[in-house]
Structure 1
Amino acid sequence: MQNLFHFHLILKPIAARLLNKRARYLCLQLTLGLMLFPQQALSQNNVNSETLALSEAISLALAEHPEMAVFTYQRDALNARVKQATILPRPTIGFTIEDAMGTGEHSNFGAAQSTLNIGWVLEQRAIESRVNAAKIAATQVDFDIEIKALDIAAQTATLFIDALILDQRLQLAKLAQKQANEVLKVIARKVMAGKSLSIEQLQSESELIRRALEVEDLEHELEASRYKLMAQWGGEADRYTLRGDLLKVPVIQNLSAQLAKLNEHPALLAFANQQRIAQSEIALTRIEARPKWQVSAGIRRYETSDDFGLVAGISIPFGNDGRSMGEVQVIKAKQAEYQSQSEVLKRALNTQLFVLLQNMKHSKHVIDTLTKQVIPLLEKASMQASDAYDIGRIGYLEWTTIKQELLSTQAQLLDAYQAIHLQHIEIQRLTGATLSN
C-alpha cells in the first residue's frame, strides 16, 4: 500500500542552484521522514516512555476505570439481598393466663391455667422462591457490566485513534512548515537576485506563519487528546508512546454475518434476562399470596393440681390468592414492555449496523481513490507546477495553490483513515466483538 503521506520536495534547476548543500540535505531528510513516519504511528517524544498498544490501553481502562468499580458495590448489594432472602422468619413466643381474677373459685390464681407456647409460620416454599428471585435479579449486573465494558472499550479505542490521527496531522503540519520555510529561503534568494517580486516573499512569510500556527494548534489538541485517553485509567499523559498502524484498513464483514452477532449483544440479552426476572417475580408474588399455615406448641400449667400438659395448635387461613392478581398483571405488563423495548433496540441496532457498514465501504472507496488516483495526479501536477514556476510561466499564487491542494488531499486521506477506524470500532461495539485490534 502506498504511504499515507507521499510528499514531494521538488528541486528543479533554478531552485536547486539557490539551495546550498545543507538545505538540500535537509530537503532529503524531510522527504525520507515523510515516507517513514507512517510506519510508527506516534513519534517518540520521550525516549524513556513505554510503548502502548490499543489492546493494552483497553485492558488498563477496563481494569482502572472508576465506572467499572461501581459494579463491584452493586454486586455486593445484590449478593446481600440473596443472603437476606434465605433468612427464616422469627418465631413468636406467647404466654397466656386463663381462669384467674374472676369470681368464686376463680377469684385468684388458685384455679388459673398458664400457657407458654412458641409459634412459627410455615413458608419454606416462599423462602425458596425469594432466594430464586434474588439470584436471578443478581444476574442483571453481569449484563450491565458487559454493556459498560463495551462502552468503555469503544470510548478508549476512539480516544486512542484520535490521538494517533492528531499526531499524524501534527507530523504533516510540521513537514509542511519545514517545506514553507525552505520555499521562503528560495524565494528570498530569488528576490535578492532580482528574479522574483518582493510580494512573493511577503506571501511566503505569511504562509510560514500560518503553518507555525497550525503546528501550535495541533500540539495543543494532541496534548489534550492524550490527556483524555490516559484519564480512562488515571495514567500520566507523558508516560506512554502510542503504537498503532493506521494504514491497516479493517476488514469489512458482510451484513448477514454481522447481523447474526447482534443477537448476542448484551443489551438485548439484558432485556431477555429482565423478562426472566419478571417471571420469577410473578412466581414469588403468587406464592406470597397463598395462605400460610402457622403452627404452635407449648406447655400448660394447671394451678389447681399443680400439673403440666403439652399444647399444640395450627392456624390455616382460608380463602384464595386472588389478592395477587393485580400485582401479577403489573409484572406481566413489565414483561411485555421489556419485549417491546428489545424489539425496538434490535431494529435500531440493525439499522445502525447497516449504515456503518455502508459508511465503511465508502471510506474504503475514498482511501483507494485518493491513494491510487487523486494524490498521484496532484503530485504530478505539483512537479509540473514547480517546473513552470521556476521558468516563470506561473506565479507564486498558482504554484502554492496546487501545493495546498495536495496538502489538503493528504489531510482528506487522513480523515478517511480516521473515519474507517472509528466506524469499525462502533461496529465492534454493536456486535460485542473484540476492540483490541
Structure 2
Amino acid sequence: MRLFGATISGVTMSGYFCRMALFAIGFTWLAAGHAQPQTADALTLGETIQRVTDNNPSLAAYAPRLKALAGERASASLSPPLALNAEADEFGGTNEAQGIDGVELTLALSSVIELGDRPAFRTAIVDAREGLSVAQRRTQLLDVQAKAARLFVELAALQQELEVARQAEDLARQAEETVGRRVSRARAPQAELDRAKAATARASLEVGHIEHQLPTLRTKLAALWGAEQPGFELVDDDALFHPGNAGAFEPLVDALNRNPDLQQLASHERIQTASLRLAQSNARGDIRWRAGVRRLEGSDSTGLVAGVSIPLFSGRRAQGDIAAATARREAARFDSQAAVIAARATLFEAWQHRTHAIEAFAMLRDAVIPRLESALGDTREAYRAGRYSYLELIAARQELIDARLALVNAARRAHLNRIELERLSGAALTAADGDSEHKESDHDH
C-alpha cells in the first residue's frame, strides 16, 4: 500500500440505476483509470455502488408501492358505474292493496354524469403521486449510495492513516536506535532513551487503535448491501490523493433541478395543483339520472319512468374545499422556493469547503511535506553529530507526521465535499480525472 498512491482502473456497471449512480456520483476513483489498482482483491468504489444499488434492503419497498399506484390509477380513470334498480309498490297492504294483484314493478338503470372531466383530474393526482414516489425512490437510492461512498472514503482515509501511523512507528524506532547509540557513548542522558522508547510504544498504540477501527467501518459498509460480514479486507485507496479540481460553481447551480429532494417538492406541488382542479370541478356537482320501465299489474299495462337529480348550490358548498386546496398549493410552492434557496446555499458551502480542501492538499503535498522530510533528515544528522537536542529531533519528526495526517484529512474532506456536491446537484463534476499535473509526482512521495 503506497501512501501517495496511483489512480485505479474504472469499473463498468450495468443497469439503469448503476449508470445513474456512476454519473451522479462520479467520484475520482471511477474516472482516474491510468494506473494499476493498489491490490487485486481490494474493493473498488464501483463495486461498492453496484452492491448497494442491487441489494440494499430499504429500496425493496418501492416496487410494490408503484404497483399499488398503478391499481389506483386504473380505478381513478373509471366512469361512474351503472346501477340496476328493482322496485315493487302497492302490495301486501289493505283493501285493494292486499296480496300482489295490484303490485307495480319497476326495473330501471341509474348512474351519475360527472361534469368537469373529473376522472382526468383524479388520474392526474395519482400520476403526481407516482412522480413523488419515483423521486422518493431516487432520493433514497442516492442517499444510500452517498452514504456508501462516504464510508468508502472514510475507509480509504483510515487505511492511509494506518500507513502514516506505521511510518511514525518506524521513525520512532529509528529515533530510539539513534538515541540508544548516543546514550551508549555517554553523549546523551538515559532519560532521552526512556522518552524515545515511550514514543515508540505510543506509536505502536496508535497503530493498534487504527487497526481496531477498520473492522467496524468495513462492517458498517457491508451492512448497506445487506451483508452481515464484510467479505473484504481493503478498499482501493489509490485515488484518494487525486482530489481533482473544484470546477466552477454556476454549472452546479444549473444542475440543481436534478436534485431528487427538489423533485419531490415539485411532485408535491403538482399533487396540490391537481387536487385544486378536482375541487374546482366538484363545484359543478353531479347529475344523477334514472330510466326504466314500470309494470302495472292492476291495469295490465307498462310505462316508462325517467328522472334527473341536479344538486343545488353545489358551487357555494365547494368554496371551502377550493380555498383549502388553493392554500395547500401556495404552501407547496413556497416550500419549493425555500428549498431551492437552501439547496443553493448548501451547494455553495460544500463547493467552498471542497475548494479550500483542494488548495490545502496541494500546499501540503508540494510545499510543506517535502520541506519537512528534508528538515527531518537534516535534524537527524545534526542530532547524531550532537548539534541538535532530542527535543528538536522529536519536534521535526512530529511535524512531518502531522503534515502527512493533514494531507490525508485534506484529501478526505475534498472527496466528502465532492460527494455532497454531486448528491445536491445530481451531476458529475467536470474535473473527475483528478489533477493530472501532479499524478506522476505523487508516485515519488
User: Which of the five TM-score ranges fits, normalised by the shorter chain?
Assistant: 0.7 to 0.9
Aligned pairs for 1:34-45 (under 5 A) are none
Paired residue secondary structure (2:245): coil
2:57 corresponds in structure 1 to: 66
Per-residue deviation, 1:305? 4.0
- Assess if the C-alpha contact under 8 Å between 1:181 and 1:208 holds in 2: yes
Q: 1:337 is aligned with what amino acid?
A: A
Deviations 1:164-183 (A, max 9, x none): 00000001111221232233
Measure how far apart 1:103 and its partner are. 6.2
Matched, 1:170 2:165: no
Correspondent of 1:129 among 121, 133, 137 = 121
2:113 maps to a residue whose letter is L
Contact 1:250 1:424 in 2 (8 A): no
Could you tell me how far 1:390 is from its partner in structure 2? 0.7
Partner SS for 2:234: strand
**1:321-377: CA deviations, max 9, x gaps?**
222211111111111112211221111122222222222222222122222222222
Partners of 2:179 and 2:94 in 1: how far apart? 131
- What CA RMSD, in Å, does the superposition of the two structures yield over aligned residues? 2.7
Q: Does 1:187 align with 2:179?
A: yes
Number of residue pairs aligned between Structure 1 and Structure 2 = 398
How does the TM-score come out when normalised to structure 1?
A: 0.83
Change (3 A) 1:383 1:185: closer
More deviation, 419-428/75-84: 75-84
| Larger-gyration structure (1/2) | 1
Task: Assess, with a 3 A threshold, how the Cα gap between structure 1 residues 421 and 107 changes in structure 2: closer, same or farther.
Answer: closer
SS at match of 1:374: helix
Partner of 2:13: none
Alignment counterpart, residue 363 of structure 2, candidates 351, 360, 369: 369
CA 1:41 to 1:173, structure 2 compared with 1: closer, same or farther past 3 Å?
farther
Letter in 2 for 1:55: G
Whether the aligned pair in 2 keeps the contact of 1:41 and 1:168 (CA below 8 Å) is no
Alignment pair present for 1:237 and 2:241: no
In the alignment, structure 2 segments of 5+ residues that lack a partner are: 6-34, 434-445
User: Any conservation in 1 of the 2:245–2:358 contact (CA below 8 Å)?
Assistant: no
CA contact (8 A) 1:156 1:232 kept: yes
User: Contact 1:112/1:303 (CA < 8 Å) preserved in 2?
Assistant: yes
The correspondence for 1:226, drawn from 218, 224, 229, is: 218
1:116 equivalenced with 2:116 (yes/no): no
Name which of structure 1's ranges 143-152 and 315-324 shifts more when overlaid on structure 2: 315-324
Write the distance in 2 (CA, Å) between the matches of 1:398 and 1:147: 53
2:92, 2:150 → 1: CA distance? 86
Structure 2 Cα separation of the partners of residues 324 and 317 of structure 1: 12
State how far apart, in whole Å, the 1-side matches of 2:67 and 2:296 are. Answer: 53
Pair 104,382 (structure 1): closer, same or farther in 2 beyond 3 Å: closer
Does the C-alpha gap of structure 1 residues 95 and 371 become closer, same or farther in structure 2, counting only changes over 3 Å? closer
Distance 1:40 1:214, change over 3 A: farther
Which residue identity lines up with residue 122 of structure 2 in the other structure? R
State yes or no: 1:357 paired with 2:351. yes
Of 52, 60, 80, the residue aligned with 2:43 is 52
| In structure 1, distance between residues paired with 2:389 and 2:95 | 134
Give a deviation string over 1:295-316, Cα, whole Å, max 9, x none: 2233322223444444333333
Q: How far apart are the structure 1 equivalents of 2:233 and 2:318? A: 61
Give the distance between the partners of 1:371 and 1:101, measured in 2 at CA: 104
Contact 1:100 1:107 in 2 (8 A): yes
Amino acid at match of 2:140: K
Distance in 1 of aligned mates of 2:317 and 2:345 = 44
Counterpart among 142, 152, 157 of residue 150 in structure 1: 142
1:429 corresponds in structure 2 to 423
Provide the residue aligned with 1:140 in structure 2. Answer: 132
1:332-343 matches, cutoff 5 A: 332-343=326-337
Amino acid across the alignment from 2:42: T
For 2:98 and 2:382, the matched residues in 1 are separated by: 133
Taking the aligned partners of 2:360 and 2:161, their CA distance within structure 1 comes to 18
Q: Kindly state the Cα deviation for residue 140 of structure 1 after the two structures are TM-superposed.
A: 0.9
Matched, 1:203 2:200: no
**C-alpha separation in 1, matches of 2:232 and 2:369:** 36
Query: Would the aligned equivalents of 2:293 and 2:303 in 1 still touch at CA under 8 Å?
Result: yes
The alignment partner of 2:60 has SS state of helix
Structure 1: gaps spanning 5 or more residues: 6-38
Q: Are the aligned partners of 1:41 and 1:167 in contact in 2 as well (CA < 8 Å)?
A: no
2:400 matches 1:400? no
Contact persistence 2:178–2:384 (CA under 8 A): no
Aligned partner of 1:81 in structure 2 is 72
